Structure 1
Amino acid sequence: MSRGDGEQVGRYLRTVRQLRAGQVVARGRLRTQRAVLRARPGLTAAMLRGRPVAGRWPIGLVPLDGRCPAPRDTVERLADGRLTLLGHTRDLARRPGQPAAADPSRWDWEQADAPLLWRYHLHYWDWAWALTAEGDQRRDAPGGSEADRALFARVYAGWRTAAPVGQGVAWAPYVASLRAWTLCALAPVLACAPPIRDTLRADLGTHRAFLRAHLETDVGGNHLVKNIKALIGLAAADGDRRGLEHWAGALVRQTRRQVLADGGHHERAPAYHCQVLADLDDVAGLLDAAGHRVPAELTAAIDRMRSWLGSVLGPDGTVPLLNDGFPVPDALVRRLLPPIPAQPAVLTPPAGPTPPAEPTPPAEPALPAGPTSPAGPGPGPVGAGPGATSGTLLADSGLAALATGRWHVLADVGPPCPDDLPAHAHADTLSFLLWWDGDPLLVDTATSTYAPGTRRDHERGTTAHSTITVDDADSTEVWGAFRAGRRARPTLVALRAHSAALTLTAAHDGFRHLPGAPRHQRRWHLDPGGLTLEDRIDGSRRHRLAMRFHFAPGVTLAATAPTATAGALTITTATGRRLMLHTDGAGDGRWRVRDTPRAVGWERTVSAPTAELRLVARLPVVLHTRLGLGHRPSPDRTTGMTESRAGQVPAAGS
């Protein structure tokens, strides 16, 4: 065995040994079933041909996808076979070397040359909600025109001919789950008359039989939530009370496992947190509309998840893109945040009799003003007013939000992923995001692709995050598209508040496999003048150290005159304000600036400056860095602080 083969085997074993035995068994079972589906498609289709659903979806119930549909232009040219998903348009009607086909059954529904995520979205069918919107309007009670219903029927009939049961990407269990839920909800709007109504009900029966046999217990996480949600939707559409009871119970059991005590989703990716919260909210709405009791545990999990989202939301109203995920639309974020109680109305006595007023519903939360957000007061840090000092430690999730004056920090101090689900992990322990005056200053490189390769490796790696590397190693051994072997093991020391300042201390041992067993400890000290970092790298022997800060698009950096230490950088924000970055303790190290990509969506990146400080030194090493209004870094000597290991740090004076 070559050295490379040995390293690959070791990495694979370090990944597999953290899985549960049941996951390994389930993976083998599902792969065997898929192989049978491919080998005997006719027999399989007959076995999975379930009883048609009865078509009893609650009247008027519209899930979140329908209340936040894609723009109408997504499907503007659907009749010609052109569809826009994830910001990219493809021509389904034209196969290579052939003229465009008018019949949707002859369209290229496989799209083999498209990225896998685009193909997934093609077969979700959630894009069909755009057919129910009038222009670009978002409505709580969407409807489709006669022309839209005819187009849906024609395209769906073509799709089902080209996507035989159990075959290809269209019948991946995750994809089939999203499609089943969507079609259950769309049927009363776009498939309300025969023959498409009867065809769709029969197909939903097939989806139910398929999903019962293909629960993704090998993966778990958000995939299994999607599977169960679909089966709840199918039970509701069939008027199956026992099925509702069974699958609602299964979902509650998953919330016990997946929703942490602090309200975070256990995959620790805020964008996926929003997905799971939307799923639970949809299910609660469906159970209520179907006259079924909503389990108290489900309601409690939703409430915790809403509160968590409000705690981690940036001051610009954006969902932080830590770990995997793509930007979450503002319209969805507003619907997921905790509702703001309505204020009592001030009434003028009427001149004559008037009908009684309808009760005022809770107001929909407004997002803070930002480049892509409507203006309005934002949720901000819990318990904080403008410029107030507040800190929130979400100890189970491993996130800490610190705010004082014009500064806001979100630090990642937790494990990269659940032990048995590394798919969306990044090697980002002790990295952080930073906002100044409500605008992003330091950002995550984020995610632009799930396709395996150099870009995926970089975006998951430690160099893509604002933290320190030792010998260019990743703090968590991320590899492949969705795997991770050796993991960083974080230690949270404390979050303290004093006057108008906050201090957070945490550490990890993700470099323990290197000679001398390096260990990284970082302390954030946030005050109204800026942020001071103390990075201590313990261990022994000489190592190559690198500290990186990834700035937001629109920020510019320039070197100042060198000093006896690491030199300094002048930061000019997108609004023209100047700040300073300076480090002591770096020996001969100097800050260097280069442009690197920032993901701003699927398959979309822009360039922005990255500051990198490299040095070679014998451990232990201590670096002091100041990013702020121009003060030199110095060790934190604050005393008399209050301390919290989990939860809310009291605001000064409280």
Structure 2
Amino acid sequence: MRLWRTVRHLKPVQVYGRAWFRLARPKPDLSPAPALRVLAGCWVSPAARPPSMTGPRAFRFLNVDGAQDEIGWDGPEREKLWRYNQHYFDDLNAEGAANRVQWHRALIEEWIGANPPGQGTGWEPYPTSLRIVNWIKWALAGNPLSAEARWSLAVQARWLIRRLEWHLLGNHLFANAKALLFAGSVFAGPEAERWLARGEAILARQMPEQILPDGGHFELSTMYHALALEDMLDLVNLARTRGGTAPELAVSGMLRWLAAMCHPDGQIAFFNDAAFGVAPVPAALIAYAERLGFSAPAEPGPLTWHEDTGYARLAAGPAVLLADLARIGPEYLPGHAHADTLSFELSLYGQRVIVNGGTSVYGYGPERSRQRGTAAHSTATVAGADSSEVWGGFRVARRAYPFDLRVTEDPDGALSATGAHDGYRRLPGAPVHRRDWRLTARGLSVSDSVNPAASAEARYLLAPGIQVETTGVREGTLSLHDGESIRWRADGGPVRIEPARWHHAFGQSQDTQCLVLPLADGASRMTFDWS
């Protein structure tokens, strides 16, 4: 039944596309590469990530080191996501890449020789897509590709166009189409025009679906939004280099959405799959947009309600609150969803105070399930269950649907957000969780109710380094890094303090603590006072 409740949301193309993808076995086309196209414009320097090469044949991905001599290109010594990164070639366009050109040139030639066309992890569609783009961006930056590398690029593009990820859709299909656009833009002739036309046709359908009217990416992950914004900026850059038209209208809205979903520290909030170090930092994306002629987004106002994506930003005095009133993501594509409905994050005096757990692992296993579960987020759990049935690494069965959403400024100047969700209706009594936030320049109150009353707890995950002191079973203080102090007081059951973990980057976690407030008779309220 769980499997049925998962697959019933899929689009038909995902079902028959999966069967086709597993059964189809195209042969690589090894014919010579088309001629190069004469480009009309100049390539603008893109957003750069931190370097990932630590030596001529050594890497650091996901905060784990590896040497080429030890693991090769497909070694089982590293998890699959690490090996995916190995085949991306992100370092070609990373910070200081000009100082590693000889490493890059040798690495490209080694990859061609060690990865026969169509074989191994490196020829799966997603790493193939990212590698095509990275090789071409490196070439556009002034690093000529050898004849063998140009041939390999053409073979990769021919392979990709027959291995498009229709069974996954979302960011994977977008990456496939982007790679075809890049390949079709730098090569000339009828074959390159077919790549270009196929990429343009896919993006013409996918962009309106994936970029919502409020500017947010439809998978509702701040991290994947930043990656999608990088993709859009690259496409604008490429179109101008080729001398064609560019999808520029979506960029400004995406920049505004990203700015509103960042903390005062300049980094993204953690909703759904999110971590630092995967996408370029927001400042790098904004700088890239400015180099392309876009205006930097204005500073968000006190109240921002992203109605299409379902996220709210409330800012008053020294406080910034980001609230998740969103559905988990597209019905047919919840792979990056967490059971985090009605969670929130809070910064005070420029420091994160209340957070969500983040993401440090992909794949399958109990730790991935725990990180996606409700208890790893600053929201309420009922009967120890997850608000949405996350399972299998990237699956979701029954989902929480938010309703009765309001984001307002009260007559007294306080900022309020409220919403409910039905994710726990599968439990006995069909309880509904409702949460209300009320923020002023002096403090925050968070009220939770579960109706009908059931065993429930409101969880407040603290950022690492926040010191907790109790002055009673329902009150105490939080001490911030800069010496500021916040008083907290609870209405409900006695508060307990649990050890917890914050997963700020892949492969990395930090110890922290969580305030756990049991609901009494189906209700609780937590008040934070920094006046």
**Would you say same fold, with TM above 0.5?**
yes
Report the Cα distance in structure 2 between the residues aligned to 1:555 and 1:189, rounded to whole angstroms. 44
Identify if the C-alpha distance between structure 1 residues 289 and 492 changes in structure 2 by more than 3 Å, giving closer, same or farther.
Answer: farther
From the superposition, tell whether residues 340 and 112 of structure 1 become closer, same or farther in structure 2 (CA, over 3 Å): closer
Q: More deviation in 246-255 or 119-128?
A: 246-255
Corresponding residue number in structure 2 for 1:89: 65
Q: Deviations over 1:166-225 (max 9, x none)?
A: 222111111100011111222356762xxx611111111111111111111111111111
- Which residue does 1:594 correspond to in 2? 498
Mark the runs of 5 or more structure 2 residues left unpaired by the alignment: none
3-state SS, counterpart of residue 23 of structure 1: helix
Matched with 2:6 is 15
What is residue 472 of structure 2 aligned with on the other side? 561
1:464 — aligned with what?
Answer: 376
1:57–1:236 Cα contact (<8 Å) kept: no
1:320 corresponds to which residue?
Answer: 269
**For the structure 1 residues 315 and 414, does the alpha-carbon distance in structure 2 shift closer, same or farther, using more than 3 Å as the test?**
same
Q: 1:199 aligns with which of 137, 148, 153?
A: 148
Instruction: Measure the CA separation in 1 of the matches of 2:206 and 2:249.
Output: 13
Once residues 331 and 171 of structure 1 are traced to their aligned partners in structure 2, the CA distance between those partners, rounded to angstroms, is 24
Q: Which amino acid aligns with 1:432?
A: F
> Is 1:68 paired with 2:48?
yes
SS of corresponding position for 1:111 = coil
Q: How does 1:145-160 map to 2 (within 5 A)?
A: 148-149=101-102, 151-160=103-112
Where 2:146 maps in the other structure, the secondary structure is helix
Check whether the contact 1:50–1:209 (CA below 8 A) recurs between aligned residues.
no
Write out aligned runs for 1:343-492 (5 A).
Answer: 380-382=299-301, 390-492=302-404
TM-score by length of 2: 0.93
Letter in 2 for 1:49: L
Question: How many angstroms apart in 2 are the aligned matches of 1:558 and 1:253?
Answer: 54
User: Among residues 73, 78, 81, which one is paired with 1:109 in the alignment?
Assistant: 73
Matching residue of 1:236 = 185
1:500 alignment partner AA: G
Q: TM-score scaled by structure 1?
A: 0.76
Give the % identical residues: 32
Matched with 1:77 is 55
**One-letter code of the match for 1:258?**
Q
Inter-partner Cα distance in structure 1 for 2:54 and 2:418: 52
**Is residue 490–residue 506 contact of structure 1 (8 Å, CA) maintained in 2?**
yes
The one-letter code of the counterpart of 1:206 is: V
Provide the residue aligned with 1:508 in structure 2. 421
The answer for the alignment partner of 2:221 in structure 1 is 269
Residue in structure 1 matched with residue 20 of structure 2 by the alignment = 29
Query: Deviations for 1:234-286, whole angstroms, at most 9, x for unmatched residues?
Result: 00111345643552242122111111111110000011001011111101111
Q: Which amino acid aligns with 1:30?
A: F
- Matched position secondary structure for 2:250: helix
Instruction: Return the alpha-carbon distance in structure 2 between the equivalents of residues 57 and 268 of structure 1.
Output: 39
Q: Which secondary structure does the structure 2 equivalent of 1:463 belong to?
A: helix
Shift of 1:581: 1.7
Residue identity matched to 1:591 = V
Asked if 1:627 corresponds to 2:531, the answer is no
Q: Which structure has the greater CA radius of gyration? A: 1
| Local SS of the residue matching 1:560 | strand
1:457 & 1:426 partners in 2: Cα distance?
A: 9
Question: Structure 1 stretch 596-605 or stretch 180-189: which is displaced more?
Answer: 180-189
Deviation of residue 134 (structure 1)? 4.7
Report if the CA contact (8 A) 1:271-1:328 is conserved. Answer: no
Choose from 225, 230, 235 the match for 1:278. 230
**In 2, Cα distance between equivalents of 1:63 and 1:170:** 26
- Give the residue type in structure 2 aligned to 1:442: I
Assess if the C-alpha contact under 8 Å between 2:59 and 2:66 holds in 1.
Answer: yes
Indicate the SS of the match to 2:313.
strand
| C-alpha separation in 1, matches of 2:208 and 2:94 | 34
Match of residue 509, structure 2, among 572, 597, 605: 605
Question: Residues 157 and 337 (structure 1 numbering): CA distance in 2 closer, same or farther, change over 3 Å?
Answer: closer
Would you say the 8 A contact 2:277–2:505 is kept in 1? no
Query: Once superposed, what is the RMSD of the aligned Cα atoms?
Result: 2.5
Q: How far apart, CA to CA, are the structure 2 residues paired with 1:592 and 1:614?
A: 9
Aligned length: 526
Q: Assess if the C-alpha contact under 8 Å between 2:212 and 2:309 holds in 1.
A: yes
Q: What displacement does 1:468 show?
A: 0.6
Separation of aligned partners in 2, 1:330 and 1:20: 28
Contact kept? 2:237, 2:292, Cα under 8 Å: no
Gap change, CA 1:329 and 1:13, over 3 Å in 2: closer
Aligned equivalent of 2:35: 54
Match runs of 1:154-303 below 5 Å: 154-187=106-139, 192=144, 197-239=146-188, 240-241=192-193, 243-294=195-246, 298-303=247-252
Structure 1 CA distance for aligned equivalents of residues 391 and 66 of structure 2:
30
Residue 160 of structure 1: SS of its match in structure 2?
helix
Equivalents in 1 of 2:239, 2:167: separation in Å?
Answer: 27
Code of the residue aligned with 1:454 in structure 2: it is P
